[in-house]
Copies of this chain bind each other. A is one copy, B any other.
């Protein structure tokens, strides 16, 4: 039950962009250097953040990335879900793959409670809380 590098790095990238924001675009290379993450791997992670609409991007010379919104408008849960994918600790909570035994499953409500607990926490924090 671990958060993968994608979610962890993504959070660090968002914090980095928040802290180093000076209005200009920041190149991936700069972020990668500061955060000690491989350029090529970071590309993939930042692509997820871009696709989620979290970043403004500029291609070409002097291009790069910057936050599309103010830090307090980013919910950490959203950042993690966009990069980690689904965060539920148990497959049967995802809606898909509904288990045939769910009706009389003695453990279901425990897992549901865990999922709720996790979501309450990660949805209660914003990027602003980290910077």
> Which residues of A are in contact with B by a Cβ distance under 8 Å?
1-4, 7-8, 11-12, 15, 19, 76, 84, 87-91, 106-107, 109-111, 113-114, 117-118, 120-122, 125, 129-131
Q: Which B residues touch A111, using CB under 8 A? A: 3
Q: Which B residues touch A130, using CB under 8 A? A: 106-107, 109-110
Given A1-B84, A2-B91, A91-B2, A15–B121 Cβ distance below 8 Å? Answer: no
Asked whether, in the complex, the Cβ of A125 is within 8 Å of the Cβ of B107, the reply is no
Q: Which B residues touch A114, using CB under 8 A? A: 118, 121-122
Q: Which B residues touch A11, using CB under 8 A? A: 107, 110
Q: Dominant SS at the A interface?
A: helix
Query: Copies per complex?
Result: 2
Report how far A119 CA is from B130 CA in the complex, Å: 22
Asked whether, in the complex, the Cβ of B87 is within 8 Å of the Cβ of A3, the reply is no
Q: Which B residues touch A2, using CB under 8 A? A: 1, 88-91
* 21 A/B residue pairs, CB under 8 Å, sorted by A: A1-B4, A1-B7, A1-B84, A2-B88, A2-B91, A3-B89, A8-B90, A8-B107, A11-B107, A12-B106, A15-B106, A15-B107, A106-B130, A107-B130, A109-B130, A110-B129, A110-B130, A113-B121, A114-B121, A117-B117, A117-B118
